Amino acid sequence: MDYQPEIIYIEEGAADYAMTRRVLDHFPGVPTRQSPDLQEVMDDIRQSSVDVFGAAKRRLLLSRFKGSFLKKCPGISPGMVCCNYYVVNLITNCVYDCSYCFLQDFLQNNPLLTAFVNLDDLLAELDETLSAHPNRTFRVGTGELTDSLALDDFLPYSETLIPFFNQRSNAVLELKTKSDRIGNLLSLDPSNIIVSWSINPPEIAEREEKGTPGTLKRLNAARQCAEKGYRIGFHFDPVILFPGWEAAYADLVDTLLENVRPESIEWISIGGFRYRPNLKKVIKDRHQGTRLFTQEHLPSEDGKFRYLRPLRNRAFATLRRMVKDRAPDVNVYLCMETKEIWQGVTGKMPRSDKKLDQFFDL
C-alpha cells in the first residue's frame, strides 16, 4: 500500500527539522499548510466526511513531541500480567484500517496521522534513561499507536533508531509491523533489533485487516529479515475465533515455520480480541462486514471485553500446543491476560519459567 496524503500540515516549530524536509521532498506535489489551527482542521473533516477517522488518516501532520517519549506499556492494568515493555510513540494513527483497531476510539479527538520530527529530543531522553540504569534491560517498541514500518520509506525512523540501539548493551528495540516495508532494514546492522509481525490467518487478514500486505507477504518479509540476521517475533494478536479457526491457525503455524526457522524466532505472543465498550459501535459502523462479534464477550477486570474464559483458555492452549509441537524451543507468552488464563494455558506463572524471565523481570 503506497500512502499519499491529501495535505501535509506543519505545526509551528516543526518546519526546520531534517525529518520534515525528508517528508516534503518525498511528496513534492502535495499541498502543505503551515501552523494549522487543528480544531479548525478537525471541524472541517467532521463537516465533510461521514467517516471522520478514515478521512483523518489521509491528512499528515508533522509536529514536535513536547512530553516524555519513553513510557511504560499500558498493559499494566487491573488483573493483567505485564511483560515489562516500554513504548516510544513516534507516530499516532496508522495507514492501515484494521477493523479491531483500538485507535478508532482512542484517537477520536484528534485522529490526524501525526508524525513527530524532533528525533534529537528522543535520542537525548533515551540516552539519559538508559545510562542512568546500566544494570536494567529495557525492551522498547514503537508500535503501540501506529505500525512501526508501514511508512518507513518516507519516515525512516529505523535509520536513526537501529544504530542508536545497536550501541546500547542494556536495551533492545522491537519494530512491530504488519507491513513488508523492510528496505531500510536490509541495509542496517541487525545485531540488537527484533522485528516482529502481527499475523493472522489469510481469512482474517483479508476481511479484518484492510490495506495491509497479505499473510504470505508478511512472512516473506520476516524470512528476509531473518536471513539478514534480525531476531524475529510474531504476535498472534488479536486471535479471532470463527468457524474453522483451529484449522486456519494450524495452517498459519505450519506456513510460518516453513518460512522462518525456529532458531530465528525470539518469541511468539498470543492475545485475544479485546475492546473497550465504546469501540464496539465504532467497529460496527465502520466495518459492516466484520466477523468480530460472532462470539459472546464479557468485561474483564480491566474493563475490556474479551471472549469467555473457557474459550480463551482453549484457544490459547491450542495455539501454544501447535507451536510447541513444531518448535518446542520457541518462547510463547500471553499478552494482556489474567493470571488465571496464564495458569490455565501454561500451568504456571511467567516468573516460574526461566525462558520468559527476560520479558517479566522488573
Task: Give 199-220 pLDDT, tens digit per residue.
Answer: 999 999 999 999 999 999 999 9
pLDDT band at 342 (very low <50, low <70, confident <90, very high): confident
**CATH value at residue 251:** 3.80.30.30
Report whether pLDDT(12) > 70.
yes
The mean per-residue pLDDT over the stretch 135-160 comes to 96
Helix (H) or strand (E) holding 63: strand 59-63
SS3 87: strand
Taking the C-alpha atoms of residue 226 and residue 260, their distance in angstroms, rounded to an integer, is 7
Inside any domain, residue 14:
no
Listed in sequence order, the residues at least 6 apart from 318 whose beta carbon sits closer than 8 Å to its beta carbon are 246, 249
Confidence label for 132 from pLDDT (cuts 50, 70 and 90): very high
Q: What is the CA radius of gyration of the chain?
A: 20
For residue 50, give the C-alpha cell. 461521514
Range of the domain at 79: 66-87+118-360
Residue 165 lies in a domain: yes
Q: Would you say residue 10 has pLDDT above 80?
A: yes
Q: Is residue 140 part of a domain?
A: yes
Taking all residues of the chain, what is their mean pLDDT, rounded to a whole number?
A: 92
Please state the rounded mean pLDDT for residues 333-340: 80
Indicate if the pLDDT at residue 79 is higher than 60: no
Q: Encode pLDDT of 220-265 as tens digits.
A: 999 999 999 999 999 999 999 999 999 999 999 999 999 999 999 9
> What is the pLDDT confidence band of residue 344, given thresholds at 50, 70 and 90?
confident
- What integer pLDDT is reported at residue 340 of this predicted model? 77
Residue 360's pLDDT is 42
- Distance between CA 279 and CA 57 in Å, rounded? 18
Count other Cβ atoms within 10 Å, centred on residue 314.
Answer: 16
Q: Which three cell numbers stand for residue 26?
A: 518525498
Q: Are 239 and 336 in contact (CB under 8 A)?
A: no
Confidence (pLDDT) at 255: 98
**pLDDT tens figures, 271-308:** 999 999 999 999 999 999 999 999 999 999 889 999 99
What percent of the chain clears pLDDT 70, i.e. is strictly above it?
A: 92
The pLDDT, as a whole number, for residue 361 is 42
* HEC profile of 153-221: CCCCHHHHHHHHHHCCCCEEEEEEECCCCCCCHHHCCCCCEEEEEECCCHHHHHHHEECCCCHHHHHHH
Residue 5 lies in a domain: no
Task: Provide the grid cell at 316.
Answer: 490459547
Give the position of cell 508524525: 115
Q: Is the pLDDT of residue 362 over 70?
A: no
Q: How many domains does the chain have?
A: 1
- Domain assignment of residue 287, yes or no: yes
Q: Which helix (H) or strand (E) holds 271?
A: strand 265-272
Does residue 92 lie in a domain region?
no
Cβ contacts of 277 within 8 Å, gap of 6 or more? 299, 303, 305
pLDDT surpasses 70 at 175: yes
Q: Are 123 and 69 in contact (CB under 8 A)?
A: no
Structure confidence at residue 359 (pLDDT):
47
Residue 16, domain member (yes or no): no
Using 50, 70 and 90 to split pLDDT, how confident is the model at 349? low
pLDDT number for residue 301? 87
User: Is residue 210 included in any domain, yes or no?
Assistant: yes
pLDDT exceeds cutoff 80 at 193: yes
Average pLDDT over every residue of 49-53 = 95
3-state secondary structure of 317: helix
Q: Decide: 222 and 195 in contact? Cβ < 8 Å.
A: yes
Question: Quick one: pLDDT at residue 335?
Answer: 84
pTM: 0.92
The count of residues in the chain is 362
Q: Which of 125, 118, 122 is nearest to 19 (CA)?
A: 118
